[in-house]
Structure 1
Amino acid sequence: MLAAMAIPPTSRSEQGKPPAREAGDACPGALRLHLADDGALARVRLPGGLLTVRQAHALADAAETLGDGGLDLTSRGNVQLRGLAAGCGAELGGRLRAAGLLPSDRHDRVRNVAASPLCGLDGRGAGADVQAWARALDALLCADTPRHPDDNQPQLTDLSGRFLFGLDDGRGDIAALAPDVTLIATADGHAALCFAATGPALHVSAGDAPRAALLAAAEFLAVLDKSGIHAWRIRELAPELRPSADRLAARLTASGIAAAPLPRFEPPHGAPPEPGVLTAPDGGRSLSVAAPLGRLTAAQWRLLAGSAARDELRVTPWRGIVLPGTAEDHLPRLAAAGLVTSADSPWHGAGACAGRPACAKSLADVRADAAACLTPARTGGPRPLPVYWSGCARRCGHPADGDWVDVLATGDGYRVTVRGETTTVTSPASPDLAGAVATARTPIR
């Protein structure tokens, strides 16, 4: 049965005011595993989404040997391994260290760095090498030394596992995610540094950009320390408590970084990469593919690693993988393996949380229900809105912003919501759910 009614939007605004963070941050990492219904879960941070071919094979081996054989891509451009045995932490940590995927045990969970995945591949952006920024920022994070017992100053390891650094090459894809600290390349060869991708911003040199981002995170921690407030992210602070550009400029100046205010700065907002062939101004080719519902088998992952023309894979915050320099003749083989290689694919723009049986909190097998709803490939017409299936009201991994269709399991069916309008479907096995989702995904002309 279908019933239409207007309710408050369920993406960002339903969450209301930011939550009070009295408990500790339980965000999983490569060393701190999360126990789920299908076994332990490990989240491997990939700053900038960057992987070598050897590292990609190491993750596939770990997934097959220690986990359930699958790899989940996250909305931060990281990788999760599921179905791990509870006692495999030491072996997993050893494998990751040997592959260079765990350069610092102390900083494992704070290495959250998203970077424009198409930088240098399609001629767009302001020309900055944000992948180099990502490597430099990660090195600076991991070099943060333990404080002296008598030193009460906050340390970077005090950051939440959810705190996000964003490095945008000027196209606006990463800025649209509203990271906690954002560097945006500017046309003059510099960078705009801002909190939560909003103004006011500071103008810093490209060479100083990674260190400036680190100092911005330190300023956030100083605000928490001074106020006594527990918060994991910038947006959880009331506007009057958020770090100010003036205070950050003073911190940068004291550290030898020249910073000028950009009071009229408006961050760009660009679209994420679409699957398919990318063409550089010089005619060079690269490939962009996506993981169906964000999950890959070890065989699919190895196929991607084997297709990499350079010793580099870039995992995107939109659950995709970019292969720099890889020619388009690899695309049919990737498509035949079940990867999303075209924006016309019914799997493009569709995502889902783990759902049953992996998660005890889930009220439905959302991945199976989502797969049953996906219609054949488009043959024209407007691009459907992104859609995300969630097994419970936590909506783990849902899109950060923008218009998207929220398909929420209720225990009796699903609620399908877009722009504040909801359709309730009480029989998920019927065609009603597929029809409600398809209707909700139709853009407003």
Structure 2
Amino acid sequence: MLAAVSTAPSPSSPQATPPARDRGDACPGTLRLHAADDGALARIRVPGGVLAAHQAHALADAARRLGDGELHLTSRGNVQLRGLRDTCGEELARLLDAAGLLPSPEHERVRNVVASPLSGLDGQGAREVRSWLTALDAALCASEAARGLSGRFLFAFDDGRGDVASLGADVTVRATADDGALISLGSAREALRVAGDDAPRAALLAAEEFLQFARLAGERVWRIDELGPGSAELASAVRHRLAESGIGCVWDSTDATVTGGPLPGVIGSALCVHAPLGRLTAPQWQELADVAPGELRLTPWRVVVVPAPDMTVSDRSAALSRLAATGLVTDPSSPWLDVGACIGRPGCGKSRADVRADATRTLAAASGSPLPLYWSGCERRCGHPRGDRVDVVATPEGGYRLAGPDGDGPLRTTDLDDVSRLATALAAITS
């Protein structure tokens, strides 16, 4: 049955205060596999989500030969392989290294970079950010200090449209119309304005300066906002560090304009498709790799962008139809765009439910919600997105608790013990 709607204080931001940590950063990578209930898990960092076609084929090969045959997109545009054999670590590393996906074993977990996926493809944005992405990745892999960054530390390169600027990165670089860049740290409202050509080096110097502050904090601080009041001191120290390095900078305000990720369909000279719940079967991935003339761009919104500047309009339409035939979403009005979920059972031992099955079963009901839904198998809510949404969290009793925002006030919540009544529960907390 549905419980009466109740209100409860909104939980504080996960980065508002330094969390108590009794162990080091266990974030999985390519060389550090995570033991899950469905086998070992590898997380392959793909800076900016950019995959050359041969790299996409290599990942498909790894998934088929070593894992469960599927590829999973993360909220940072990276790829996870699941169901891996415990003894496959060396073989996986060799395969990915040969494909150019492991440029530095010491830095593979810190190459966390998101970038505007449509940059240079649709005529929007202030500049194309690919050169920034390439320069930062090379500098990051050459930096001894950067090895100390947490696997959770995130860089974002926004071409000025405001898409990845809204993702809560630790260092966000946003292009401006005057060929400059605004560099913001964590959730700070002030930014440092630098010349566009200096942006990648400035981003790395900011991250290296953060590491100095994290060491002085004497705690396991992995994200900039975890410094609390120290974030303001960090900003001043970064400005001084940039000046010492010959990078001119002045204080400015961040651009408040934000947009969402790309919708499915043909946008500019690109094809865009959405992978429901971030999961791609081997045939779907293979079709994507075959259609792509040069590369794929993975996004934090589980949308895959296929640049196709040399395709004719009819060729793009035909390619989109091929992708739709595999079950990928090509309709911008699909309810799948507003439904997400963690891995749930049986892959995660902490999950209390098969949340992906329940999310799929109730897709029609979810389409009536004015807010996106995110299904979680437990209170950790792994992979949950930023922004307003309805959280659907499995409870120890075998049902779910729904929680949604109520303006600036407390959360509105209700309990659900029968997923067939999801539409009623959603109406109770969103009306």
TM over 0.5: yes
Aligned match of 1:25: 25
Does residue 45 of structure 2 align to residue 45 of structure 1? yes
Structural mapping, 1:161-240, within 5 Å: 161-240=151-230
Aligned match of 1:402: 387
CA deviation vs aligned residue, 1:212-265 (integer Å, no higher than 9, x gap):
000000111111122323211112121235543321111011112111221x33
CA distance in 2, matches of 1:353, 1:74: 10
Does residue 376 of structure 2 align to residue 387 of structure 1? no
* Secondary structure, counterpart of 2:184 in structure 1: strand
> How many angstroms does 1:40 deviate by?
0.1
Aligned match of 2:416: 425
* Secondary structure, counterpart of 2:138 in structure 1: helix
What amino acid is the match of 1:410? Answer: T
Aligned match of 1:413: 399
Aligned match of 2:408: none
Aligned match of 1:436: 425
Aligned match of 2:136: 137
CA distance in 2, matches of 1:219, 1:247: 7
> How many angstroms does 1:87 deviate by?
0.8
* Secondary structure, counterpart of 2:183 in structure 1: strand
Identity among equivalent positions (%) equals 57
Does residue 35 of structure 2 align to residue 35 of structure 1? yes
What amino acid is the match of 2:346? Answer: P
* Secondary structure, counterpart of 2:4 in structure 1: strand
Aligned match of 2:299: 316
* Secondary structure, counterpart of 1:80 in structure 2: strand
Range 350-359 or range 191-200, more displaced:
191-200
Q: Is the 8 A contact 2:339 2:366 kept in 1?
A: no
Range 72-81 or range 131-140, more displaced:
131-140
User: Once superposed, what is the RMSD of the aligned Cα atoms?
Assistant: 2.0
Q: Is the 8 A contact 2:376 2:393 kept in 1?
A: yes
CA distance in 2, matches of 1:275, 1:175: 20
Q: Is the 8 A contact 1:8 1:14 kept in 2?
A: no
> How many angstroms does 1:137 deviate by?
0.5
Aligned match of 1:290: 274
* Secondary structure, counterpart of 1:110 in structure 2: coil
In the alignment, structure 1 segments of 5+ residues that lack a partner are 146-154, 280-284
Matched residue count: 419
| TM-score normalised according to structure 1 size | 0.89
Please point out which of 338, 342, 352 is paired with 1:363.
Answer: 352
CA distance in 2, matches of 1:386, 1:351: 8
Structural mapping, 1:93-104, within 5 Å: 93-104=93-104
* Secondary structure, counterpart of 2:8 in structure 1: coil
* Secondary structure, counterpart of 2:364 in structure 1: coil
Aligned match of 1:305: 289
CA deviation vs aligned residue, 1:118-162 (integer Å, no higher than 9, x gap):
111222211x221221111111111124xxxxxxxxx21111000
CA distance in 2, matches of 1:304, 1:385: 30
Q: Is the 8 A contact 1:286 1:328 kept in 2?
A: no
CA distance in 2, matches of 1:31, 1:286: 33
> How many angstroms does 1:197 deviate by?
4.9
CA distance in 1, matches of 2:304, 2:428: 27
Aligned match of 2:325: 336
CA distance in 2, matches of 1:236, 1:303: 42
Aligned match of 1:152: none
Range 243-252 or range 290-299, more displaced:
243-252
* Secondary structure, counterpart of 1:83 in structure 2: strand
| TM-score normalised according to structure 2 size | 0.92
* Secondary structure, counterpart of 1:252 in structure 2: helix
What amino acid is the match of 2:132? Answer: W
Q: Is the 8 A contact 2:30 2:108 kept in 1?
A: yes
Aligned match of 1:65: 65
Does residue 246 of structure 2 align to residue 256 of structure 1? yes
> How many angstroms does 1:328 deviate by?
2.6
Aligned match of 1:277: 266
What amino acid is the match of 1:320? Answer: V
CA distance in 1, matches of 2:303, 2:429: 21
Closer/same/farther in 2, CA of residues 136 and 8 from structure 1, 3 Å limit: farther
Q: Is the 8 A contact 2:154 2:170 kept in 1?
A: yes
In the alignment, structure 2 segments of 5+ residues that lack a partner are 406-410
What amino acid is the match of 1:49? Answer: G
